[in-house]
Amino acid sequence: MRRHRKKRKNTGWIWMAALVLFLSTAAPASAQEKFDSTAEYAILMEASTGKILYEKNADKPLPPASITKIMTLLLGFEALEKGEAGWDDLVTVSEKAWRMEGSRMFLEPGTKVPLHDIMTGISVVSANDGCIALAEHLCGSEEAFVQRMNERAKELGLTQTQFKNANGLPAEGHHMSARDIAVLARYLITNHPKILEIESTTDFTFNGVYQKNRNPLLGNYPGADGLKTGSTDEAGFCLVGTAEQNGMRLISVVLKMKNEEVRKTASVELLDYGYQNFELYEVAKEGEIIDEVPVRNGKELNVPVKINEPVSAVVPKDRKEDIEITVVPKKETVPAPAAANTVVGKAEIRLDGEVLTTAEVSTAKEVEKAGFFTILLRNIADFFRSLFKVSRG
């Protein structure tokens, strides 16, 4: 059963309305077709739905540099969530952590540093030394921590990811794809939103050293509040950006850029493309009646069905009226008696035949079973209707 959101007017001006509709929908589609990211490896995702709005060579495994730290931070947050660690835990800094090169928070060997500072240093100033300190604190060694990183990658379905260390310094076989990075970033943001509070911090001072957040989008792009930069000679310049505008959060990934400026430009172009061409639209509210399904042996022949949760979908701008809701029942008919709120199937939200998302549907009210004679009369009527159809055939 299908409910069309598209409105139709039966007037003599249909041809003109059709022309207007064509022009209004064709323009955004054309803009989408013409867009080509300046990044060779890129992806753009809407965070709440996971909808991919743009991709280019998104499955190519590449050195991710400090983008690796998104997984390191995820394991930190998950340890906190499980009670395996606390924000005020004191992390002992090893000589190995102290000797880390590249971006650092300048930990001193033998000192004890609150876990909160370690997590902040990794997030804000991309601290390589902080990653080793965290890994050793949670798993005893970086090697054991990296094993957990790879296990978690498999659990999350990251098919083009393999970690060799906790901070992304160059190592043979250490790689991620743009798609895997976007999926991981979405998971971290969705399940541990505190990361955005930390990542949006513009500066960090530790051990007397003041450093600025390396994310070029912060303070320069509307709604930007994360997520992670990375750069090595091997990986080039990488950036996972995220921003929220008008209730829609986007995640952009660009990899292997030539310098900081083109990395920023490519990220801004991706985010602009998303916000200019798409919107997050609430298709149906929780409890909204969307259709009805037939009932077998009920006092009523049909029962209305409702959406069990709010349903939103990412759609091209000016295409909301083209969305269709199709109810797909579990069975051809609902057997009576049936209580209210009985799950009877799902709703498929479609645009141009593509399923954007789905949601459970249930009966909006109770359906009682019909009496014996009512059922008998219906069966007799159905019998004669079938004979009539045969005779006409």
Number of helices and strands (H, E) in the chain? 10, 18
CB atoms within 10 A of CB 25: 16
Residue-level pLDDT at 30? 41
Residue-level pLDDT at 381? 67
Q: Which of 66, 94, 177, 200 is catalytic?
A: 66
Residue-level pLDDT at 4? 44
Q: Looking at this protein, which amino acid is placed at residue 33?
A: E
3-state SS assignment for residue 251:
strand
Is the model's pLDDT at 23 over the cut of 90?
Answer: no
3-state SS assignment for residue 302:
strand
Instruction: Looking at 62-141, list the stretches that DSSP marks H as alpha helix, in order from N- to C-terminal side.
Output: 69-82, 95-98, 115-125, 128-139
β-sheet with 236-245: strand ranges across? 52-56, 41-46, 248-257, 236-245, 224-232
Residue-level pLDDT at 154? 98
Average pLDDT value for the chain: 90
Reading the block at residue 226, the tokens are: 């994360």
Confirm whether 362 is a catalytic residue.
Answer: no
CA angle 214, 188, 262 (to 5 degrees): 35
* Residue with the larger pLDDT of the pair 318 and 184: 184
Confirm whether 66 is a catalytic residue.
Answer: yes
CB atoms within 10 A of CB 318: 14
Residues 6 or more apart from 219 whose CB is under 8 A from it?
Answer: 202
In this prediction, what percent of the chain has a pLDDT beyond 70?
A: 88
Query: Phi-psi category of 287—alpha, beta or left, where left has phi over 0 and alpha has psi -120 to 50?
Result: left
Domains of the chain: 35-278 (3.40.710.10), 285-373 (2.60.410.10)
pLDDT in tens, 319-331: 999 999 999 999 8
Reading the block at residue 304, the tokens are: 């209305």
Q: Which of 37, 56, 69, 306 is catalytic?
A: 69
Is the model's pLDDT at 306 over the cut of 70?
Answer: yes
CA distances from 311 to 6, 282, 285, 325 (A): 17, 6, 6, 11
Reading the block at residue 309, the tokens are: 């949760």
Interval 91-113 mean pLDDT: 97
Give the lowest-confidence range in 105-109, 224-228, 268-272, 381-385.
Answer: 381-385
Q: Which of 37, 103, 123, 126 is catalytic?
A: 126
Output phi, psi for 343, to 5 deg. -70, 125
pLDDT in tens, 112-146: 999 999 999 999 999 999 999 999 999 999 999 99
Residue-level pLDDT at 34? 87
Residue-level pLDDT at 391? 58
Interval 21-48 mean pLDDT: 72
* Residue with the larger pLDDT of the pair 383 and 179: 179
Question: Are 213 and 203 spatial neighbours (Cβ–Cβ below 8 Å)?
Answer: yes
Residue-level pLDDT at 33? 56
* Long-range contacts of the stretch 142-145 (C-beta < 8 A, 24+): 142/96, 142/166, 145/72, 145/75
Query: Phi-psi category of 247—alpha, beta or left, where left has phi over 0 and alpha has psi -120 to 50?
Result: left
Confirm whether 56 is a catalytic residue.
Answer: no
Interval 314-340 mean pLDDT: 92
Is the model's pLDDT at 377 over the cut of 60?
Answer: yes
Q: Sorting pLDDT into bands at 50, 70 and 90, what band is 367?
A: confident
3-state SS assignment for residue 365:
coil
Strand partners, 114: 90
Nearest CA among 385, 387, 365 for reference residue 377: 385
